[in-house]
Amino acid sequence: MKLILLHFLAAATASAFVLSPQQTWTKLILTHHWPTTFCGMEKCHTKIDSWTLHGLWANNGNDCNATWHFNVTLIEDLLPDMEKSWPDLLNPESTKFWKYEWYKHGTCAAKAESLNSQHKYFSKALELYHKMDLDSVLKKFDINPSKQYYPFGHIQDLVDGFYGAKLKLQCVHPPESADYQILGQIEICFTPDFSLMDCERETREKPVNSSVKAQAKPGFSVCDPEVPVYYPPTM
| Catalytic sites, residue numbers | 54, 101, 105
Please answer whether residues 152 and 228 qualify as being in contact, where contact means their C-beta atoms are separated by less than 8 angstroms. yes
Please answer whether residues 60 and 25 qualify as being in contact, where contact means their C-beta atoms are separated by less than 8 angstroms. yes
For 6, which DSSP code?
A: H
Instruction: Note the residue count of the chain.
Output: 235
Dihedrals φ, ψ of 187, to 5°?
Answer: -110, 135
The Cα–Cα gap between 23 and 60 comes to: 6
Question: Strand, coil or helix: what is 222?
Answer: strand
